[in-house]
Amino acid sequence: GNSVTQMEGPVTLSEEAFLTINCTYTATGYPSLFWYVQYPGEGLQLLLKATKADDKGSNKGFEATYRKETTSFHLEKGSVQVSDSAVYFCALRGQGGSEKLVFGKGMKLTVNP
């Protein structure tokens, strides 16, 4: 079945550091790929998405590119801020009629000033 593997952390960075969170997936065909973020005390919020190969999703300075050849969707940000401290989840929705999201385990990021 479909699955997502991501870096688990936790990770602590200093403000303005470069961030990469690796995410790889296993799925047949062309799934849609997502990054969700969960800030303390809040629900999962969609951060960005990509629905076909080579698409780049971007939002709030974060980027991820759908790489079919490496089955990856790594999340990057050039300069993190304290406000980026959160848990980050990579997820996919399989091709076809299924609506369910399949999530990675999530990675907790703490950014220190």
Partner 1 sequence: EPEVTQTPSHQVTQMGQEVILRCVPISNHLYFYWYRQILGQKVEFLVSFYNNEISEKSEIFDDQFSVERPDGSNFTLKIRSTKLEDSAMYFCASSDGGRETQYFGPGTRLLVL
Interface ranges with partner 1 (CB under 8 A): 32, 36, 41-46, 49, 51, 89, 91, 98-106
Judged by CB, which is closer to partner 1: 18, or 39?
39
State phi, psi for 111 to the nearest 5 degrees.
Answer: -115, 120
Q: How far is the CB of 84 from partner 1 (least distance, A)?
A: 19
37, β-bridge pairs: 45, 88
Q: How far is the CB of 4 from partner 1 (least distance, A)?
A: 8
Judged by CB, which is closer to partner 1: 96, or 113?
96
The 8-class DSSP code of residue 17 comes to: -
Judged by CB, which is closer to partner 1: 51, or 79?
51
Q: How far is the CB of 80 from partner 1 (least distance, A)?
A: 23
Quote the tokens at residue 66: 């759908």
Quote the tokens at residue 9: 């952390």
Give dist(CA 113, CA 95) in Å, integer.
41
Q: How far is the CB of 95 from partner 1 (least distance, A)?
A: 13
Judged by CB, which is closer to partner 1: 48, or 80?
48
Look at residue 46 and give its three-state secondary structure: strand
CB contact at 8 A, 73 and 49: no
